[in-house]
Amino acid sequence: MNDSKYQLMAQLCIEKYQSLNKTGKPLDNQWTTLCGLICEQSDSFKLICLTTGTKCVTGSPSKLTNVLIDCHAEVLAKRAFKQHLMGLIEKSNGHLNHLDNLNWHLFISQLPCRGFSSTSTSSIDKPLIAIRFFISAGCNQGISRKPGRGEPCLDASCIDKILKWTHLGLQGKRLISLTRKPIRLKSLIIGNCVETKEFDREKVDKALAINIDPESELQLDPIFAINDNQWPDIHFVETIKCSPFIRFNHLQACPSAIVCWDENGDKCEIIVEGLKQGVNKKRAASNPSRISRLGLENRFNQLIEKICDLKFSEWKL
């Protein structure tokens, strides 16, 4: 695959963003991060999820039930992907062989947060620790602070999370029971690097190229075994230099986030302070964002019911 295909995928994301109305977009004195998940099949490319977002919601965890804490664009894209995937599973009546023919690419308008500053020397140990922590403890607090965009919070940085997805896939813990194998990224496409002076191929490679020591305490199910050609390729698309996505010092981080995904047409939500726009914390339980923990859980439970009904009727025949 040549570089122009990565340019094309980046361009798909930019054009889709430009086609959206103003709601949730940064004002003239704000910047945001753009992220897109693209599906490749037989040399054709389709944008599946498009997100923006720069913020983390901070505060006591007990007061943040049903709130999306990490609203960085990369993390929202992964959540939106789960909705898309559940739509695919539903449509295919639980038969997922065609997923093997798809490649997934993640475009991010700037380097994912953490680990790339010229002074950083800690690119190896911490992501590995983060992976261990994610898998063993099942939660993600206390390992690393999410830096860079907006107020820091205790969630893991995006590069740690991308590393985790590299191993465990984008489908998440629940959906692995249906996909049976992790859905991994084929490539990571990064834009805007010239403007932010962050272009550093070596550091990105280092941060992602972590091999898990088989002797470590990490006990991964064999379905998560990863071989050398399953690491995402990293591509910098230096010509992608759109102004809302360049983090100039005089600009503020945009507080709202946009989440769109493809599922029989576009589904979109605007997220403000970790909640669907117009919904307050009290109503979040009855009207959750579809990409919140509760929104995804509800959808998953409905999906399982449908599949069970289907299997039962097949069995009766």
- How big is the chain by its Cα radius of gyration, in Å? 19
Helices 73-91, 158-168: inter-axial angle, 10-degree rounding: 30
* Cβ–Cβ under 8 Å, residues 149 and 54: yes
* Cβ closest to Zn ion, residue 24 vs residue 150: 150
Pairing assessment for the beta strands 256-262 and 44-52 based on DSSP bridges: antiparallel
Closest contact distance (angstroms) between CB of 311 and Zn ion is: 40
Q: Report if residue 203 touches Zn ion, rule: CB under 5 A.
A: no
Contact 76, 45 (CB under 8 A): no
**Candidate segments 10-18, 89-97, 154-162, 174-182, binder of Zn ion by CB under 5 A:** 154-162
Binding track over 220-259 against Zn ion, x by CB under 5 A = ----------------------------------------
- 110-139: contacts with Zn ion (CB under 5 A): 113
Minimum CB–partner distance for residue 158 and Zn ion (Å): 3
Q: Does 71 help bind Zn ion (rule: CB under 5 A)?
A: no
CA atoms of 33 and 31, how far apart (whole Å): 7
Least separation, in Å, of the C-beta of 74 and Zn ion?
A: 6
Please list, residue by residue across 212-223, b when 16 or more beta carbons sit within 10 angstroms of its beta carbon and e when fewer do.
beeeeeeeeeee
Number of residues that bind Zn ion (CB under 5 A): 3
Report the alpha-carbon distance of residue 241 to residue 66 in Å, rounded.
35
* Residue closer to Zn ion (CB basis): 77 or 158: 158
Instruction: Report the phi/psi class of residue 148: left, alpha or beta, with left for phi > 0 and alpha for psi in -120 to 50.
Output: left
CB atoms within 10 A of CB 128: 17
With respect to Zn ion, which residue has the nearer C-beta, 54 or 179? 54
The smaller minimum CB distance to Zn ion, of residues 72 and 105, is found at: 72
- Measured in degrees and rounded to the nearest 5, phi and psi for residue 236 equal -100, 125
**CB of residue 63 vs Zn ion: minimum separation in angstroms?**
23
> Please, which residue, 146 or 290, has the CB nearer to Zn ion?
146
Residue 34 touches Zn ion, criterion: CB under 5 A: no
The C-alpha atoms of residue 171 and residue 86 are separated, in whole angstroms, by: 9
Stretch of 46-54, 65-73, 127-135, 257-265 lying at the interface with Zn ion (CB under 5 A): 65-73
Instruction: Give me the least distance between CB of 88 and Zn ion, in Å please.
Output: 26
Q: Does 72 bind Zn ion (CB under 5 A)?
A: yes
Q: Is residue 56 close enough to count as binding Zn ion by CB under 5 A?
A: no
Count of Cβ atoms closer than 10 Å to residue 26 Cβ? 21
The verdict on 161 binding Zn ion (CB under 5 A) reads no
When binding is defined by CB under 5 A, the residue of 158, 270, 271, 284 that contacts Zn ion is 158
Nearest to Zn ion of 85, 158 (CB atom): 158
Cα(82)–Cα(219) distance, integer angstroms = 25
Structure tokens at 137: 């403890």
Residues in touch with Zn ion (CB under 5 A): 72, 113, 158
